[in-house]
Structure 1
Amino acid sequence: MTTTSTYGSIAVKLMVLLIAAALLFAPFLFQDVRSVEVAARICIFIVLVASYDLLIGYTGIVSFAHTMFFGFGAYGAAILLKQMGPGWGPVVLGGLAGIALSLVIAVAIGLLSLRVKAIFFAMITLAAASVALVLASQLSHLTGGEDGITYSAPDLFKPATKLLVDADGKVMKIAGVRMNGKIAAYYFVFASSAVLFALMLRLVGSPLGTVLKAIRENEARAEAIGYRVVAYRTFVFCISAVVASLAGTIYAVWLKYTGPETALSFDIMIDILLMVVIGGMGTMWGPVIGATLLVIAQYYLRDLMGVAAEAVSSVPVLPELLNPDRWLFWLGILFILLVYFFPKGIAGTAMEKGVRQ
């Protein structure tokens, strides 16, 4: 008999719970600026990758336009914060503008293109993303061009803001962490990301999630039993675009800079794809694991290799192989090994192997 609670799924959920706890207490556990930056990036990319998993993992839609929607949200907030000054009004209006533009483009792409075969749809989304990147680079009077836009975040998130003060009027410290605007900015990112992820988790657990899986497994059969496949695929494409746009707005508020490389680069799309594959498609827990592992590797693998190279400095050849400049090579090796040993991603493979007959 197959148990509903398997060892594999329990292990995956425990891993996700540990990641969530580490992110929740990140400013207190890792008090250097770089670590908090890494934690905030993980939060953003968990949402971004999970929204992409709605497409590729739950509906079988391959899109290369996800960073375009992410960029719309980021540029919407960035442009208004630059023009109107720091405040919540520009953030809300910019976020809504990013959502509106994302919805218009998503509906247009969905209705015109989702009827075609997968490879042609992927090429159409790639072309749309390329156009957005070119426009962001050329409309320098609005987007700052290649230099991007630098602006100020709302006053609540400024380092000089005092969230808690002691009897002397100085910024209070809790566990050695100053209770200022920087900590408020991090928890804004964490809370916003957690809410968006919870909404997506609820979506895939609803009857709609079951329909999406049916469309992924057998589109013709789903249409034969009465489901309007194009309407469902367009709807989920729009939902995914909206979530990606909101993630872009949150990232723009945190980073206080938006440019083509940080919001619209095709490198970001590659990262999203790698995170989905590493974590596991169609699980929703996979994006949490994949985003965490890849972001940590991008920030710390180089440092780890430097330490390893020094440790084996007396051994022939090894120091050269472990040269920090070769970190991308070793990242590629690690990715190949992960795909080989976890063909359905870490979460997908663990949950599949954990089922007891």
Structure 2
Amino acid sequence: MRAGGANSARLTARSVIPLVVVVVFLATLPLWVDDYWVRVWTGVAMWAGLAASWNIIGGYAGYISFGHVAFFGIGAYATAILMQPGLDWNFFLTLPVGAVVAGVFAFIVGWPTLRLRGAYFAIATWALAEALAQLVNTVDFTGGSFGLSTPGNAETGFFYYAMLIASALIYLIIFAVFERSRFGYKVKAVRDNEAAAQSLGINTTSVKLQAFVMSAALPAVLGGINAYWITFINPQSVLAGDITDQMVVMALVGGLGHLWGPAIGATVLYLSSTWLNAHFGSSTGYIAMIGALLALIVLFLPDGLVGLMPRARNMRLVRQMLRLPDRRADPGPDPDTSRERS
């Protein structure tokens, strides 16, 4: 019992300590950096939340979605539309509306598409996102191709930093609970062997659908915050396919199906791209350097950057095992024994 309690305590500490360190770092960051870096870390928080949301369906459930930008866009448009003159909704009230609309949309499209697997599911979700972008580009109440402006606000950069950092940290806690919950284990069971999970009595269709809805509602909230932050949206800014691409790449680089993977991937890639863009501009060289970085990580770290820690622990263990007492230098023959033989 003691050993089990100790292991549980170590496991809890291992989960909580990194979170505490991250919270302290992010809470004090605006005190010792300028406004530029506050804005950069605001972007990191947004992309970490998006990548982590995609990780639910892509990493834990094993369904690669190439249409996740649709949910981000739904949240952005929900906030922008509800805040237009004549409706004048409070910004904070628009966020849950966007999440609900995105969740309902995910439920409707997920019911048929989640019966597909592999490339078929990926293509279906991509096609649905493209169809939504074309629809938004056509109808009047979304502003069409001209887009929509959110009402001017006097919020400072720190407001958006605090909003997105708080959202990312709340998401991290949600995912930590999800990962250890009964529902989380069911999702991973479906990913590992859907037929076996079904034979154990798991309603795999329901589990996949719930995971898809969950992974859709969360980015919608971030889309709403982003719309309020940038003050203007159109289909090119919130429904572009490369937004999904970045979610996928960040989760892949950090580590699919891991709690910290998407956050690590988003941090490394966003900071790297910011530095490279500042020094090389949006040039072919910049794109090539990002591509080379991704190729190296995929080739040598198939588990993502989170795989570095277990590898480091394994290497340390190997070195400790090699330091055996009998590996000391041979002291040579005993002088007394040599004298007796002579």
Which band: TM-score by shorter chain? 0.7 to 0.9
Q: Could you say which residue in structure 1 is the equivalent of 2:230? A: 255
- Once the 2 structures are TM-superposed, how far is the Cα of residue 4 of structure 1 from its aligned partner? 6.3
TM-score by length of 2: 0.81
1:319-338 paired onto structure 2 within 5 Å: 326-338=285-297
8 Å Cα contact 2:38-2:157 kept in structure 1: no
**What is the aligned residue count?**
309
Cα-to-partner distance string for 1:168-198 (whole Å, 9 max, x where unaligned): xxxxxxxxxxxxx432332122223322321
What amino acid is aligned across from residue 239 of structure 1 in structure 2?
Answer: M
Gaps of 5+ in 2: 1-5, 319-342
SS in 2 for 1:73: helix
- Once the 2 structures are TM-superposed, how far is the Cα of residue 14 of structure 1 from its aligned partner? 7.6
8 Å Cα contact 2:66-2:245 kept in structure 1: no
8 Å Cα contact 1:303-1:324 kept in structure 2: no
8 Å Cα contact 2:160-2:225 kept in structure 1: no
1:125-204 paired onto structure 2 within 5 Å: 125-139=125-139, 141-152=140-151, 158-159=154-155, 181-204=156-179
TM-score by length of 1: 0.78
Query: Is 1:79 the equivalent of 2:81?
Result: yes
Cα-to-partner distance string for 1:253-305 (whole Å, 9 max, x where unaligned): 22222222331110111111110111000112001111111111222213244
SS in 2 for 1:142: coil
Could you say which structure has the higher helix fraction?
A: 2
Query: Is 1:43 the equivalent of 2:45?
Result: yes
Could you say which structure has the larger radius of gyration? 2
Structure 1 counterpart of 2:180, from 198, 205, 227:
205
CA distance in 2, matches of 1:193, 1:113: 28
Q: Could you say which residue in structure 1 is the equivalent of 2:114? A: 114
What amino acid is aligned across from residue 255 of structure 1 in structure 2?
Answer: I
> Does the C-alpha gap of structure 1 residues 198 and 122 become closer, same or farther in structure 2, counting only changes over 3 Å?
same
CA distance in 2, matches of 1:15, 1:199: 15
Structure 1 counterpart of 2:204, from 202, 222, 229:
229
Cα-to-partner distance string for 1:137-190 (whole Å, 9 max, x where unaligned): 222x3223334222235x5xx15xxxxxxxxxxxxxxxxxxxxx4323321222
Q: Could you say which residue in structure 1 is the equivalent of 2:99? A: 99
8 Å Cα contact 1:283-1:348 kept in structure 2: no
> Does the C-alpha gap of structure 1 residues 326 and 85 become closer, same or farther in structure 2, counting only changes over 3 Å?
farther
CA distance in 2, matches of 1:278, 1:15: 19
CA distance in 1, matches of 2:123, 2:202: 26
Cα-to-partner distance string for 1:291-338 (whole Å, 9 max, x where unaligned): 1111112222132448xxxxxxxxxxxxxxxx9651111111111111
8 Å Cα contact 2:150-2:228 kept in structure 1: no
CA distance in 1, matches of 2:7, 2:253: 24
> Does the C-alpha gap of structure 1 residues 218 and 352 become closer, same or farther in structure 2, counting only changes over 3 Å?
farther
CA RMSD of aligned residues (A): 2.9
> Does the C-alpha gap of structure 1 residues 90 and 142 become closer, same or farther in structure 2, counting only changes over 3 Å?
farther
Gaps of 5+ in 1: 160-180, 307-322
